[in-house]
């Protein structure tokens, strides 16, 4: 009877350890996927903002002597640089930090 109790205890412990490993892997994957999605949404928002600023600067540029079109183009360039940075980070996160 003692061997049977030890076997049951061993199987219960193995099941708990396996369950913890699976939950840990699922949690890590979900966290990485959510972070990637968040970064991609941020990059998309910056890209749409840059597109809006470029269209605005085009219409402002059609009216002479305002000079505000340069400010809008600089802001659009900064938005594009920010979206590129977020896309690069999202790419690194989706591949995993330790894996190359």
Per-residue pLDDT, averaged over 2-30, amounts to: 87
Q: Looking at residue 99, what is its pLDDT?
A: 53
Q: Looking at residue 97, what is its pLDDT?
A: 56
Which of the 8 DSSP states describes residue 64?
A: T
What percent of the chain clears pLDDT 70, i.e. is strictly above it?
A: 85
- Going 30 to 36 to 38 to 40, the CA torsion angle's sign is negative
Which of the 8 DSSP states describes residue 91?
A: H
Q: How many CA atoms lie within 13 A of 58 on its CB side?
A: 6
- Look up the pTM and report it: 0.62
- For residue range 30-74, what is the model confidence (pLDDT) as tens digits? 888 888 888 888 888 888 878 887 777 777 776 666 667 677 777
From residue 69, alpha-carbon distances to 46, 56, 73 in Å are 18, 8, 6
The closest of 74, 73, 42, 41 to 55, measured between CA atoms, is 73
Q: Looking at residue 100, what is its pLDDT?
A: 47
């Amino acid at each position: 009877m003692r061997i049977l109790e030890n076997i049951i205890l061993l199987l219960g412990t193995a099941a708990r350890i396996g369950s913890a490993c699976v939950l840990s892997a699922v949690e890590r994957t979900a966290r990485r996927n959510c972070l990637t999605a968040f970064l991609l949404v941020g990059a998309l928002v910056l890209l749409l903002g840059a597109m809006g600023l470029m269209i605005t600067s085009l219409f402002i540029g059609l009216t002479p002597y305002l000079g505000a079109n340069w400010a809008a183009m600089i802001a659009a360039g900064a938005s594009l640089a920010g979206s590129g940075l977020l896309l690069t980070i999202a790419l690194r996160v989706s591949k995993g930090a330790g894996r190359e």
